[in-house]
Amino acid sequence: MSFRATASHPALILDDVRGAQKMLSGVARVTALEGSRHLTELVGAPVHLKCENLQRTGSFKLRGAYVRISGLTPVERAAGVVAASAGNHAQGVALASSLLGVRSTVFMPVGAPLPKVAATREYGAEVRLHGQVVDETLAAAQEHAQETGAVFIHPFDHPDIIAGQGTVGLEILEQCPEVRTIVLGLGGGGFAAGVAVAVKALRPDVRIVGVQAEGAACYPPSLAAGHPVSLDSPATMADGIKVGRPGDVPYRLVEELVDEVRTVTEDELSSALLLCLERAKLVVEPAGASPVAALLSDPKAFRGPVVAVLSGGNVDPLLMQRILRHGMSAAGRYLSLRLRLTDRPGALATLLAALTVADANVLDISHVRTDPRLGLTEAEVDLHLETKGPQHCAEVEAALRAAGYRVMG
């Protein structure tokens, strides 16, 4: 495939996205569009979830990778391809290469989650672990390309990648013709640019909203400056959108076609992931949950019907465990307390009985009886409780105080 269009010729760009859609027929799944009653009630208009977390390899990345590799010449295919990624792009390149009979080498950071490394290998790539951060991994992959002649497959900064990702936009218009707002995660910009190209060409009235993690938001300063700007040290749990600089190719398309860029906090991301799991029964990674986080943070700001794109579901189980704890804490579902009580037989049992009456579930307890800070007849207890929400937290604290306990915080 040869990308012929520019930002000033949207009809030609649409032709390229449509060509990518034909190319991906039978390769990429047409993922489901699921309604969300909870989000619909919050927003006050229909909200649908576009489930790219259920795509092959667990994210939309297969789309762009397959289109990009399909467009290589026979000589380029013979030389193989190389990519650098901590997860989703790695798996997309690995599977696309296997389907097309092209040899692939994928560089991943030394600390990449083991399930993602194993999946990339199972899809057929040779995996090389190099560097502690993605920038080091990227440099190693580019060096490999120079030394071997393998074609470097960038995760977002190439027109064919953008065209492939844009097929999600075509599917949204087919599945929800009445859509008025599309919300999606924004990292380097390839996904948002592709979706915006397809949607704006057919429905210029549809509002496109990109969502970045607050600690890795490279687009707001870039848009303000009028050109891509690099962040010194992007930091977020959402590794799928943890990008320090917009791509040169998608930047101009995002600047022209994306209506708004919003940022969300880590608390909002973890709360959104928890909501997807509990209410929608969908496993979503933090980057994939970013559109839901935006809806939760300001639900009345979105004109419906809204389609929120869950871009990926590849989350390490250990990270998922930490995120869920964080999300439950952010939602007021955890309560940590330290309190003083009289050190006498049965005092701890009496405290636990009071918590039972307050309907709080004890997750962890630490009972300290010997400490220089304590009086001769005092003991200190650290409690970690599971609660039903912020109001219940306040009720538990009030019940303990009413029972005569000295709550330290």
CA angle 36, 305, 254 (to 5 degrees): 105
Residues 61, 116, 200, 242: which is the catalytic one? 61
**Omega into 305 within 30° of 0, i.e. cis?**
yes
193 three-class SS: helix
Contact 343, 368 (CB under 8 A): no
Nearest Cα residue to 86 out of 275, 264, 330, 312: 312
DSSP state of 304: S
The one-letter amino acid code at 364 reads D
Q: Can 222 be counted among the known catalytic residues?
A: no
Our answer to whether residue 311 is catalytic in this structure is yes
Q: Which two tokens stand for residue 254?
A: 């995002």
Q: How far apart are CA 129 and CA 362, in angstroms?
A: 41
Q: How many residues belong to the chain?
A: 409
Report in angstroms the alpha-carbon separations of 114 from 109, 315, 328, 370.
11, 11, 25, 42
The residue annotated as part of the active site, out of 59, 97, 222, 311, is 311
User: Hey, which residues does 212 pair with through a beta bridge?
Assistant: 263
The answer to whether 93 touches 153, Cβ cutoff 8 Å, is yes
Torsion angle of alpha carbons 322, 327, 328, 330, nearest 10°?
130
- Coil, strand, or helix at residue 132? coil
Question: CA 69 to CA 228: how far, in whole Å?
Answer: 26
Is the bond preceding 345 in cis, omega lying within 30 degrees of 0?
A: no
Cα 103 from chain centroid (whole Å): 29
The residues, any chain, with a CB within 8 Å of residue 330's CB and separated by 6 or more, are 267, 268, 270, 271
Which 8-state DSSP code applies to residue 181? E
Nearest CA-CA partner of 22 in 63, 53, 56: 63
Angle between helices 317-330 and 266-278 in degrees, nearest 10: 100
Measured from the Cβ of residue 334, the count of other Cβ atoms closer than 10 Å reads 17
Q: Helix H segments across 8-87?
A: 10-23, 37-43, 61-70, 74-79
Q: Which residues are catalytic?
A: 61, 311
